[in-house]
Amino acid sequence: MHIRPIHHGDAARLAVLLEQLGFPSTEREVRQRLDYWLGDRASALLGADDEGTLVGMAALHVTPLLEVTGKFGRLAALVVDEAVRGRGAGRMLIGAAENRARAAGCLFIEVNSSNHRFPAHQFYESLGFTDSREDSRRFVLPLQPS
Ligand SMILES: CC(C)(COP(=O)(O)OP(=O)(O)OC[C@H]1O[C@@H](n2cnc3c(N)ncnc32)[C@H](O)[C@@H]1OP(=O)(O)O)[C@@H](O)C(=O)NCCC(=O)NCCS
């Protein structure tokens, strides 16, 4: 197993992984998303490759901070194929995201994780993330297309 950048050729496997994450997507839709992800210099799509098969992915976006000097990394998506969970792919993906974020000048990485993803919360805590829900709330403003 090794970590490598995701490319357009991964669209079909990425669609499988996104479905397992709870977001069924067609290969065509994934290709469209790859267009903007791969074209964004502040973003990185990291893949876990097991003998030529994409078995996991982490999506990282680097955001500049203004209130302090530095940036932070947002983990926008993380999933490992059900068939290989518990074998260290998730840990490797987080390690690679950490390295990427540190190199980009990030002070920390944050991730939003829905309440129903309890096993993922244990995963994050085992890797050193702390649950900050007591400190902050998350507000969302849906936007209509212009
Ligand atoms: C969360 C997820 C990415 C973890 O990937 P993984 O490859 O199974 O995790 P790893 O094998 O690298 O586990 C690393 C550590 O996390 C912990 N961990 C992993 N899964 C866990 C679970 N279900 N319950 C408790 N701890 C867990 C273990 O302590 C493990 O350490 P160990 O290797 O010393 O045992 C994977 O389970 C997944 O894709 N889940 C569904 C999608 C999801 O919830 N994504 C997160 C969205 S916010």
Residues 103-127: pLDDT tens digits? 999 999 999 999 999 999 999 999 9
| CATH assignment of the domain containing 31 | 3.40.630.30
38 lines ligand 1 (CB under 6 A): no
Looking at the domain assignment, is residue 64 inside a domain?
yes
- Longest Cα–Cα distance of the chain, Å, equals 45
Centre of ligand 1 to C-alpha 144, Å, is 35
Pocket test for ligand 1, best of 23, 74, 85, 94 (most atoms within 8 A of CB): 85
What's the whole-model pTM score?
Answer: 0.96
Please give the residue range of the domain that contains residue 21: 2-126
CA distance 136 to 94: 23
Looking at the domain assignment, is residue 146 inside a domain?
no
Residues 43-100: pLDDT tens digits? 999 999 999 999 999 999 999 999 999 999 999 999 999 999 999 999 999 999 999 9
Looking at the domain assignment, is residue 145 inside a domain?
no
Residues 18, 24 contacting (CB under 8 angstroms) = yes
Question: What domain count does the chain have?
Answer: 1
CA distance 33 to 15: 11
CA distance 102 to 131: 20
Looking at the domain assignment, is residue 50 inside a domain?
yes
Looking at the domain assignment, is residue 68 inside a domain?
yes
Q: Which structure tokens are listed for 80?
A: 């490992």
